[in-house]
Structure 1
Amino acid sequence: MTLTELRYIVTLAQEQHFGRAAERCHVSQPTLSVGVKKLEDELGILIFERSKSAVRVTPVGEGIIAQAQRVLEQTQSIRELAQAGKDQLAAPLRVGAIYTIGPYLFPHLIPQLHKVAPEMPLYIEENFTHVLRDKLRNGELDAIIVALPFQDADILTKALYDEPFYVLMSAEHPWTQKTTISSSLLDDKSLLLLGEGHCFRDQVLEACPTTNKELGSNSKYTTVEANSLETIRHMVASGLGVSVLPLSAVDTHHYAPGVIEVRPMEEPAPKRTVAIAWRASFPRPKAIEILSNAISECSLARKTQ
């Protein structure tokens, strides 16, 4: 049984004439007749009742014709899916990002991506690095946007841009008199940090060795931990303490002038490298290329350059 033979019997059932059916199938009448007879012999039944004046579908043939029609329709659907799959930018892309990147990158990325890949909408998830890593491995996500270092077997990474750190403080804080802030000053007991699990917390601690040392001791040194950079921003605005933000988060707030201030850190200023990671076996490399290019070209990435 072949798809060609199924097409023969469906066409013959519609035309009820061997000559017209053969013409529609672009074959000779004997070729079509042989194909129909071959299928009937294989099935052991007559699909058509033949006479000199007409060709009629038998009662058992009606069910076979109906099923053959469904098979041909499904075959066409498979062809259409395969054709769509050839366009790697014509389907949604599942993208994950860590909490300290996603909210600040996506408002810049999505308009830029829509210009170059309007038929590739994004399914977006924000989560911790280790969760995104697992979802990338098992195929729940196609690509993730993280901070380096990031290494995993069979995972490719591409650095996109570097992002310096800034110190955030209330407008009444004495450090507003400074033009830059030394990392050595950030051993203050009122430093506000993200909670455990956030890689940005670890990067801040690495950039501030004194703070990192104090956190590991049994001293009276304490910090306030929060679940998001926006929560930290609100606490800083209220005067609870100071914090460190990546550049992308500096201007994304709704506070009026005179409430909060930011200052760059002294050179060499600490920074993080934002990167994209994807499975080496992912079958849509063009989609990854377009996504990474869009990130590099969006206004946020240009701001860091």
Structure 2
Amino acid sequence: MTITQLKYVLAVAEYQNFTVASEHCFVTQPTLSMQIQKLEEELDTKIFNRNKKPIQLTEVGDKIVEQAKIIVDESNRINDIVDQQKGFVGGDFKLGIIPTIMPTLLPLFLKTFIKRYPKVNLKVEELTTEEIVKKLADGHIDVAIAATPLENEAIKERVLYYEPFVGFVPKEHRLYEHLKLKVDDLDVDDILLLEDGHCFKESILNLCSTFGSKNSHFQLHSGSFDTLIKLSKEGLGMTLLPYLQTLDLNDKEKIHLRDFTEPVPAREVSIIYHKSQLKIHLIEVLKNTIDSVIRGVIAFNDVKIISPIQKKGA
């Protein structure tokens, strides 16, 4: 039995196709099939039911895959140990960031990180929270930045910062004359929201539902904050923005911004990774880099965290 054979098994289990699995493992399909067959012969059992389309794991194959994940992760950990011992910070490092954080946070730390750690081959991918959780579990990304808490036992969360919500209110809106907003002033029916699939939208719905809004009909959904701002300026409703999104607005747009009274509703933004903690030394230097740049940009203490996860009874 070899680590390579186990990696091939994991690939077939994930893609449910020998040809696709071989492409992702960068070997020919006959090579991959032969190695898996050798492993099955050694174990005297069938890992895959090849008669099913797509290919499925046998009952014992399902248990073998679970153990194979542990073995492969632990073998990768050996490389981490050696790198840490040598003080080496480099190699491939795959980072996922949710869409409502990536445009504002990435420009703040990316240049600094690349300059400090030129031997790291950083690969950044924009992903939804659901995609991030799956890719962390499958080992397709090493770390991610997302709104938390996620309440997932397999995921470790370390808070980077708390980002307040800020109102963007058009002149025609009933709240425009308010110097500061109160959470119970909000009516979800006149708030422009991101489309389904964005956790920031879920945070807003949780914020509003917490204070009694019961109507689930919305006028408009959009995929970007820029669009929401433009629609709001046309008088189609107010919207809520994460604080970092407001920094690049021009002076004419900033007259529409309204802060909340304390405690300010905010989202918790964390660096998250699988509990297996692979590449923990790279995760640490990434967190330290973000910490060093974010302190000068955002610092709020009296905040009320609004989770993207709908709380029971809310």
| One-letter amino acid of the structure 2 residue matched with residue 186 of structure 1 | L
Q: Higher Cα Rg: structure 1 or 2?
A: 1
TM-superposed CA distance for 1:112, in Å, is 2.6
1:128–1:198 contact (8 Å) kept in structure 2: yes
300 and 196 in structure 1: CA distance in 2 versus 1, 3 angstrom threshold = farther
TM-superposed CA distance for 1:88, in Å, is 4.7
Q: Does 1:283 align with 2:278?
A: yes
Relative to structure 2, which stretch is displaced further, 207-216 or 196-205? 207-216
1:117-128 equivalences in 2 (<5 Å): 117-128=117-128
| Structure 1 moving runs of 4+ over 4 Å | 82-88, 171-174
- Counterpart secondary structure, 2:135: helix
2:148–2:157 contact (8 Å) kept in structure 1: no
Match of 1:144 in 2: 144
| Structure 2 CA distance for aligned equivalents of residues 303 and 83 of structure 1 | 33
Unaligned runs of at least 5 residues, structure 2: 1-78, 301-314
Q: Does 1:261 align with 2:252?
A: no
Match of 2:183 in 1: 183
Q: Structure 1 length as normaliser, TM-score?
A: 0.64
Match of 2:33 in 1: none
260 and 239 in structure 1: CA distance in 2 versus 1, 3 angstrom threshold = farther
| Structure 1 CA distance for aligned equivalents of residues 222 and 282 of structure 2 | 35
Match of 2:292 in 1: 297
Q: How many residues align?
A: 220
1:47-58 equivalences in 2 (<5 Å): none
1:21-170 equivalences in 2 (<5 Å): 88-170=88-170
TM-superposed CA distance for 1:284, in Å, is 1.8
2:164–2:267 contact (8 Å) kept in structure 1: yes
Q: Does 1:237 align with 2:233?
A: yes
| Structure 2 CA distance for aligned equivalents of residues 274 and 210 of structure 1 | 20
For the aligned residue pairs, the C-alpha RMSD in angstroms reads 2.8
Match of 2:26 in 1: none
Q: Percent identity?
A: 28
Match of 1:48 in 2: none
Match of 1:64 in 2: none
Unaligned runs of at least 5 residues, structure 1: 1-78
263 and 121 in structure 1: CA distance in 2 versus 1, 3 angstrom threshold = farther
Q: Structure 2 length as normaliser, TM-score?
A: 0.62
TM-superposed CA distance for 1:93, in Å, is 1.5
TM-superposed CA distance for 1:160, in Å, is 1.1
Match of 1:251 in 2: 247
| One-letter amino acid of the structure 2 residue matched with residue 197 of structure 1 | G
| Structure 2 CA distance for aligned equivalents of residues 113 and 105 of structure 1 | 12
- Counterpart secondary structure, 1:215: coil
| Structure 2 CA distance for aligned equivalents of residues 202 and 106 of structure 1 | 22
2:137–2:274 contact (8 Å) kept in structure 1: yes
| Structure 1 CA distance for aligned equivalents of residues 266 and 283 of structure 2 | 25
| Structure 1 CA distance for aligned equivalents of residues 102 and 255 of structure 2 | 23
- Counterpart secondary structure, 2:111: helix
